[in-house]
Amino acid sequence: MRRLSTLREQINSWEQLSRQVTDALELLELAEMEEDEETLEAVAAEAQELEAAIDQRELSLALSGEMDDSDAILAIHAGEGGTEAQDWVEMMLRMYLRWAERHDYKTTIADTTPGEEAGIKSVTVEIEGPWAYGYLKGEKGNHRLVRISPFDASNRRHTSFAQVEVLPLLDDDIEIDIHPNDIKMDVFLSGGAGGQNVQKNATAVRLTHIPTGIVVTCQNERSQTQNRETAMRVLRSRLYEIELARKEEQEAEYRGGYVKAGFGTRIRNYVLHPYQMVKDERTSYETGNTGAVLDGDLDDFIDAWLKLQVGGRESSP
């Protein structure tokens, strides 16, 4: 029913746009025959609005993947840079949470591993909302930060990296074959700030998928059962992503030119010193308003990447 509703909404929006274009053309023809300058100006204004609407519809062509309309699982991991990288993860978490807030998406932090001195080593967030995975899937890869370190008494410039992973949050009706004997479950005390915040019961869960070596932890729910259910959702999504990547690689052998997207791929630079700039390595889109980007203004970067995917498909043999 969700898929049917989404398709119906898409069809209705295209049909409405088509009717608007037809009406505008008919009005233009009448205005030209009668030399009605006022109406011609109104039609010109409407044409600009229609052009913007069509430009926005182009994005839907890049959101045609099987799981693009799904909710998303976003994981951020500290890369090279020590405490700097862990602080960068915390900055990125805030950035994506603010982006989700701008789109009225619901966010749930499923697991957090704090840094030793500051920041976060890794964090996993569930993001629920229309086309969340479709919009976020291009964020996968390495994000590089250059700035004057707040942790360096000498005020030297540091470079740090964070790795972003984006997975579709699978519906329960999508079957992923996971044999119970292939899963090892460990339970442990959830981390906390100490004192009354430390749980006395072992509610945190660590799942290890033995055939692939994938490890998923969850400790942010109140009960062991809830944590296990959340960890299983993440595990199912990661196994789905592995299978999807395998199929894409097989299909690409017939087309040629397949480049595997992964953590080794640096997709974006965030430079805060000696100048202010955020630049995407894939689309070359850039902005000097670093504050807005770090406050969640990511739509222009996301749109540029999605439009690049449409162009790439159109130019492929």
pLDDT at position 138 over 70: yes
Same fold across 71-172+263-315 and 180-254: no
Q: 189-226, pLDDT tens digit by residue?
A: 876 544 344 455 678 999 999 999 999 999 877 788 98
pLDDT at position 92 over 90: yes
Mean pLDDT, to the nearest integer, of 296-314? 83
Higher pLDDT, 244 or 292: 292
pLDDT at position 310 over 50: yes
Q: What's the burial of 171, exposed, middle or buried (CB within 10 Å: 0-12/13-18/19+)?
A: exposed
User: 276: closest CA among 135, 127, 145?
Assistant: 145
pLDDT at position 251 over 90: no
In this predicted structure, what is the pLDDT of residue 19? 93
Task: From residue 229, give the alpha-carbon distance in Å to each of 81, 112, 176, 279, 313.
Answer: 33, 16, 15, 38, 38
In this predicted structure, what is the pLDDT of residue 22? 92
Spatial distance between the Cα atoms of 237 and 261, rounded to a whole number of angstroms: 17
Q: 144-178, pLDDT tens digit by residue?
A: 999 999 988 888 899 999 999 999 998 766 678 88
Structural domain spans, the chain:
2-61, 71-172+263-315, 180-254
Mean pLDDT, to the nearest integer, of 105-125? 93
Mean pLDDT, to the nearest integer, of 89-93? 97
Q: pTM, whole model, 2 decimals?
A: 0.74
In this predicted structure, what is the pLDDT of residue 281? 96
User: 229: closest CA among 205, 197, 262, 259?
Assistant: 205
Mean pLDDT, to the nearest integer, of 18-45? 90
Q: What is the overall mean pLDDT for the chain? A: 86
In this predicted structure, what is the pLDDT of residue 177? 81
Mean pLDDT, to the nearest integer, of 127-152? 93
Architecture of the 180-254 domain: 2-Layer Sandwich (3.30)
Higher pLDDT, 7 or 248: 7
Query: What length is written for the chain?
Result: 317
| CATH class of segment(s) 71-172+263-315 | alpha beta
Q: What's the burial of 66, exposed, middle or buried (CB within 10 Å: 0-12/13-18/19+)?
A: exposed
Read off the pLDDT band of 272 (50, 70, 90): very high
Lowest mean pLDDT across 220-224, 285-289, 299-303: 220-224
